[in-house]
Structure 1
Amino acid sequence: MTAHPVSRRFFVTGLGLFVTGIIAFPIYWLIVTSLRAPADLQNTPSLLPVHIDASAYVALLHQPELLHYLVNSAFYGICTTVLTVALGASAAYALARLELRGKTITLFGLLVLQTFPSIMLAIPLFVMFSRLHLIDSRMSVVVAITTKTLPFAILMLRPYFMTLPKDLENAAAVDGCGRISTLVRVILPLSLPGIATVAAFNFLSGWGDLLFSLTLLTDESKKPISLGLYKFMGVYGTDWNQLMAASVAAALPALLVFAASQRFLISGLAAGSTNE
């Protein structure tokens, strides 16, 4: 006997809500812990805070270094996004439209590079930047993050570019546009969902980077928020209220970026993952 459509719908909906609840629970616990009174943290934790206390957020406003951490993270996120989109779009367009030797090997190499764990790149990059005297440089962190985000950008944008009709490029060539001009004026505006998808993921990678910043930076004024959170973890104890409040502040910009680009993400991911 087949299951009733209504029963199946309720089952799928209930299963979806259950999985969503499991995924969202750490975020809920993060926010709830940041709103607990310091005295409540010493007691047995409950799902709801006994007393709402926003003193952790008020304390963050009196820590100007937190703003520097957030600005640094924004710098790494924005610069990584701009650099990756510029290089990734150019490379993806070339792989999508030009007849290049070794194209298959190049694509396979990009796929392999995407699977490399960041720790395998951290030490070679540290040695390279050390010899170039670029340790403690913000741009060294941006370049290091780009080594991880660039393969993803190329593999996402190439199939998206391949869905665009070549007649558009032929018409642009008749009007006197070269390859670069065609890419900038015709291809990129029509590929906004794919560009937005790549930009959102790249911004998140730059914003939340920990490994490369930890490896390449020693100057406290250049560290991102991912390293700044360690300020609340002392040798003799952890200020859980402020740590969770700072974590909420660190996660909020990334959530806003994804919320703003949500309508592009679904179409961009679908186009980048299903077209060949």
Structure 2
Amino acid sequence: MLSSRGRPRRAWLGVAGAYTASAILVIPIYWLLVTSIRQPAELQSATTLWPTEPNFEGYASVLGDAAFGQNLINSLIYGAGAAAMAILLGAGLAYALARSEARWTRWVLFGMLVLQTFPGIMLAIPLFVMFSQLQLIDSRWAVVIALATKTVPFTALMLRPYFQAIPVEVEHAAWLDGATRLQTLVRVVLPLTLPGLVTVSAFNFVAGWGDLLFSITLLTDPALQPISVGLYRYIGQYAVDWNQLMAASVIASIPAVAVFFFAQRFLVSGTTAGATNE
């Protein structure tokens, strides 16, 4: 049995460990920021933790690049498209699986769970062949649909516990008032699962925003490529423009950070809800 004196000590050690781990995780972010504002002469022989004279030319060059702006717009389209398609298809699938009493439901869930373990490259090549036949190569729809092969099963798996936690009597009351099953889902059930919807939408948006594999496989037109592919412009054959590359990386990370910042109050309840459900 743990003594009363030992409990505060263990709590203190846990807090210290959490802060230490957080500090270690912050180091790459700090180095990214510092490298983006160092003088070119300091990049190879920096001896200080902070540049003696900050240099913001990399940010000015990146923000003045029209191609970089187009890459950001494309990433926004792919992120929003992946999140929207996942909710449209995944929420309905999750609701059907939550209310289904068929024996094969568990096998469907198992299949979707296995699909999440597949490396993206296993899907990229078959999708490339299929989209080539459908003449969808160099199309934004191709990337959004490819992302949906990962985000829709993920959304269904995440939202199913939410729907299971909603009493069926709530839906019966809506049906007695004359609502159809679709109206009940949209107007009654989905609003009750708002934390889950925000959580999965945040994760799906970030997955679409940072996608590299599907974008580099299905797109050859630079005007359609997202920021994850556009960053390679700053990596030359014989040299790397570190100022611009790091500045572009910092800017590219802001939308993903902003999404999680605004969704943070939903994330804890969203990721833990349904943890005790079967």
Is 1:185 equivalent to 2:187 in the alignment?
Answer: yes
- Report what 2:117 is aligned to: 115
Matched with 1:246 is: 248
Matched, 1:56 2:69: no
Does the 8 A contact of 1:232 with 1:239 survive in 2?
yes
Superposed counterparts of 1:115-154, under 5 Å: 115-154=117-156
Aligned residues: 276
Q: Is the 8 A contact 1:156 1:273 kept in 2?
A: no
Aligned-residue offset at 1:272: 4.2
Partners of 2:249 and 2:26 lie apart in 1 by 15
Runs of at least 5 residues in structure 2 that lack an aligned partner in the other structure: none
Distance 2:72 2:90 in 1: 26
Give the whole-Å Cα distance in 2 for the aligned partners of 1:160 and 1:258. Answer: 20
The corresponding residue for 1:13 is 15
Give the RMSD, CA atoms, in angstroms. 1.3
Instruction: Find the counterpart in structure 2 of residue 169 from structure 1.
Output: 171
Letter in 2 for 1:244: M
The aligned counterpart of 2:236 is 234
1:46 Cα deviation from its structure 2 partner:
3.6
Tell me the equivalent position of 1:23.
25
Q: Offset at 1:25?
A: 1.1
Could you tell me how far apart the structure 1 residues matched to 2:93 and 2:12 are? 46
Matched, 1:208 2:198: no
Question: Aligned AA for 1:113?
Answer: L
Identity, % of aligned pairs? Answer: 54
Q: Please say which of residues 99-108 and 177-186 is displaced more in the overlay.
A: 99-108
Larger displacement relative to structure 2 (49-58 or 162-171) = 49-58
2:165·2:274 contact (CA, 8 Å) conserved in 1?
no
* Runs of at least 5 residues in structure 1 that lack an aligned partner in the other structure: none
Give the structure 1 partner of residue 98 of structure 2. Answer: 96
> TM-score when scaled to structure 1?
0.97
Kept in 2: contact 1:84–1:150 (CA 8 A)? yes
What's the counterpart of residue 227 of structure 2?
225
Matched with 1:76 is: 78
How many Å separate the matches in 2 of 1:117 and 1:272?
27
Bigger shift: residues 6-15 or 83-92? 6-15
Structure 1's consecutive aligned runs of 4 or more residues displaced over 4 angstroms after TM superposition are none
TM-score (norm 2): 0.96
Distance 1:88 1:39, change over 3 A: same
Secondary structure at the residue paired with 1:264? helix
